[in-house]
Amino acid sequence: MTEYRLTWSHGEAVVLGTAAVLADCRFDLPAGAFRPFARAPWMGTVDDPTIIGHLRELGGDFACVPFGAGPAQPIGPRDWASLMIEPPLLPIHGPAGDAEWTLVAQTESSVTLGLDYPDDHIVQRLERTVSGREGSPVLESELTIYPRRSGSISVGLHPILRLPETPGRLQLQADFAFGLVHPRQVRDGEVQEFSRLDSVPTPIGPVDLSHLPLATENFSVQLCGMTGPLRAVFLDEAMGIELDWNRAILPSLQIWYTDRGIEGAPWHGQYRGIGVEPIASAFDLNTAVSTQPNPINRRGVPTAVALNAGIPLHVTHRVSAFSIKD
């Protein structure tokens, strides 16, 4: 595993060759040092090759092409379960989330890594650039997809924020067209849709997803048709981040929440984090579900990215840190 360290006027970051993961990031704000990203307690200690790369080194951000994998068996409401006819597409989140990326270019404040995809894949190559913006507490990323042939594929980005210990002290703000609870958490006939983060349906009553942590261990939703950036404020620290990205390419945001809720290696009930994941995908289901008609894209929100052979596609996102008292 190779580490690439970046420094700029307002912070420092570390990017790994493994899955091109953002392993660490510190923003220097007037109020002090701020580390908003999650970092798995086992980072740097797992060498089992059967555990995919981004899980061995689960840091704060990585790219997913395609996004997700899909369940082994159909799950959830009938209109979703009927689409789940393909087995899980492994590795989860594609080669991007597993393989060792190689160095393309590096400066003091940026690094570009590249990854060639298998010869039979619709994608020929990925390049990922991570850079600090001089003069600002901003970390910028660009994913360039080089298509081998034309077609569609699900694509996602995977920032993960840390969770505070005190319930309700991480505030999320987002504007979206409609939200859907992940099919794995909804049975046929139960309410799946919502319009506000502070009132998300569950079988035991609504939960407030705008203030975390929750009382539950695992929860996932998709905010479809995002109309602006995501804002996350750590209330006890009076600091926060704004996540902004190409919503014309990745129109939705998946929120993946886990609070010591996953067992088995390498998790072992230790991990805490909130994924805030810009996507063109139907949740984290098999890309075969995302590229066919489904309950999200039938409502005008794309769940896949159209690739054109030989024409690179550039997907950008940035994380801007701020202090409430600035």
* Residues linked to residue 255 through DSSP beta bridges, in sequence order: 221, 276
Instruction: Band the pLDDT of 260: cuts 50, 70, 90.
Output: very high
> What per-residue confidence (pLDDT) applies to 325?
74
Average pLDDT on 134-138 reads: 98
pLDDT at 123: 99
Domains and CATH numbers, the chain: 3-323 (2.70.98.10)
Per-residue pLDDT, 286: 97
Q: What's the rounded mean pLDDT across residues 295-310?
A: 99
3-class SS letters over 249-310: CCCEEEEEEEECCCCCCCCCCCCEEEEEEEEECCCCCCHHHHCCCCCCHHHCCCCCEEEECC
What percent of the chain has pLDDT above 70?
A: 100
Query: Exposed e or buried b for every residue in 71-103, given b needs 16+ CB within 10 A?
Result: beeebbbeebeebbeeeebebbbbbbbbbebee
Contact 55, 48 (CB under 8 A): no
- Taking the C-alpha atoms of residue 316 and residue 244, their distance in angstroms, rounded to an integer, is 9
pLDDT(107) > 60: yes
pLDDT of residue 129: 99
Question: pLDDT tens across 25-72, in order?
Answer: 999 999 999 999 999 999 999 999 999 999 999 999 999 999 999 999
| Mean pLDDT score, 158-174 | 98
For residue 279, what pLDDT is reported? 99
Mean pLDDT of 173-192: 96
Using CA atoms, how far apart are residues 207 and 258, in angstroms rounded to an integer? 15
Region 142-163 average pLDDT: 99
pLDDT interval class at 1 (50, 70, 90)? confident
Q: Are 247 and 220 in contact (CB under 8 A)?
A: no
